[in-house]
Amino acid sequence: MDSSGLGAVGPYELLLQLATGGMAEVFIARRARPSGAGATGAAAEAAGTAGAGTVAAEAAGAAGADPGREPLVALKRIRADLRYESGYAAMLFDEAGIASRVVSPSFVPILDYGLDDAGAPYIVMELVVGVTLKHLTRPPEVLDVGDALDLIAQSADGLHAAHEARDSSGELLQVIHRDISPSNILVGVDGRASICDLGLAYALRRTTRTKTGTVKGKLSYLSPEQAHGRPLDRRSDVFSLGVVTWEAVAGRRLFIGSSMLSILHAVLEREVPPLSREREGVGEAVTAAVARALERDRDARWPTAADFAQELRAAAEREGHAPSRGRVGARVDATLPEPLKPLASSYAPGGPLVTPEIVAALRSMHAAGVVGEGDSSGMLAPRRPTSGHRPVRKM
């Protein structure tokens, strides 16, 4: 095998480092060895994971004998300094087991997971050629209202699919994402949005547990019940997605502060300005739909993410906010980080296909020292867009 210099993980050849986060690192990779090489889903189950060993095994078995016809993938593994700590391995396998039960075009799928030759865990995901919603909406840039609402509605579809995930016996897994934020929504060059990263998710069958009262997630996107350390249900994620929606439309942050306490106080107490006062052209239908998601009394919120998605689409249609995935895709393409640029032209559902030209381009970038700039999402920081418009607030 012609090595890229990064080596292999299980049956996958690493081509280029895509990103580094607080716990893990992500690579662009391709399957380079027969599916029997290295430990996959079955070995992961033996190591203590609960969940989709069958799904992982099917994914590994479905990898054809002709690797040139397979898509490139995103391979996630624990950072080197944490790789052999059992707690982190269990967390990664939990994430794989839960996420592989989620079936939605708006949720980044898990394709495989297992242990490499040294016994370190990894998971393999569809490679989304795109950027996070966080990077797409950095001030002073702002999305068209229709585009913002469409991206959030797609995200809500993926979130609802996670909430509805079931085990092999049909029992609801009771998944709660707990970390919904712009960093965990990916937007591809096709204009599609997908929820990712179940690293902090709660599920009934999860083997790793959070201590009672421990806060998980990014402070500015916590639900009030998360901030209080109280028991959660799916409506907590609806609140967090409501915060993301408000920010994507308004073009600014909602709950900010100079310290942890001031941010938590904002989440619990600060008045949420109506979107109709924040963005010209936003009417009462959109304002009311988002306001209901942001109700601090969870009994007053949308009961499901699917209900929120349905109302966002209906409100956008009533107010004439037409989305354009082509427009979103063009904006994503303009902000793509360097490692993903060679992949944009061949991107399709399932990920870009492996070609000799793409492999050569990725290896060349690795040789030149191109490495993704990590953030808390584990995604690359892209170039800033060259154009955009500021939101207009009504006085």
Q: Is residue 41 part of a domain?
A: yes
Question: What pLDDT, on the 0 to 100 scale, is given for residue 94?
Answer: 77
Interhelix angle 234-250/305-319, nearest 10 degrees: 30
Rg (CA), the chain: 21
**Residue % of the chain over a pLDDT of 90:** 52
Using one digit for the tens of pLDDT, what is the confidence trace for 77-94? 888 777 767 677 777 777
**Residue 380 scores a pLDDT above 50:** no
Closest CA to 66 of 113, 34, 38, 110: 34
Asked if residue 201 and residue 59 are part of one domain, the reply reads no
Over range 353-362, report the average pLDDT: 88
Using one digit for the tens of pLDDT, what is the confidence trace for 240-293? 999 999 999 999 999 999 999 999 999 999 999 999 999 999 999 999 999 999
Asked if residue 74 and residue 57 are part of one domain, the reply reads yes
- Domain at 18, CATH number: 3.30.200.20
Q: Is residue 383 part of a domain?
A: no
Question: What pLDDT, on the 0 to 100 scale, is given for residue 241?
Answer: 98
What letter would DSSP give residue 208?
S
Q: Is residue 247 part of a domain?
A: yes
Question: What pLDDT, on the 0 to 100 scale, is given for residue 387?
Answer: 42
Asked if residue 171 and residue 119 are part of one domain, the reply reads no
Asked if residue 285 and residue 152 are part of one domain, the reply reads yes
Asked if residue 117 and residue 263 are part of one domain, the reply reads no
**Residue 161 scores a pLDDT above 90:** yes
Structural domains of the chain, count: 2
Over range 330-352, report the average pLDDT: 87
Q: Is residue 376 part of a domain?
A: no
Question: What pLDDT, on the 0 to 100 scale, is given for residue 49?
Answer: 39
Question: The whole model's pTM is what?
Answer: 0.84
Q: How far is CA 380 from CA 112, 149, 224, in A?
A: 22, 24, 30
Asked if residue 248 and residue 123 are part of one domain, the reply reads no
Amino acid found at 237:
D
Asked if residue 308 and residue 348 are part of one domain, the reply reads no
8 Å CB contact between 148 and 95: no
pLDDT band at 306 (very low <50, low <70, confident <90, very high): very high
Asked if residue 12 and residue 64 are part of one domain, the reply reads yes
8 Å CB contact between 90 and 207: yes
Q: Is residue 70 part of a domain?
A: yes
- Domain at 278, CATH number: 1.10.510.10
Q: Is residue 162 part of a domain?
A: yes
pLDDT band at 204 (very low <50, low <70, confident <90, very high): low
Q: Is residue 290 part of a domain?
A: yes
Domain assignment of residue 273, given as a range? 131-325
Token look-up 């902090």 returns 200
8 Å CB contact between 131 and 384: no
8 Å CB contact between 276 and 232: no
Q: Is residue 385 part of a domain?
A: no
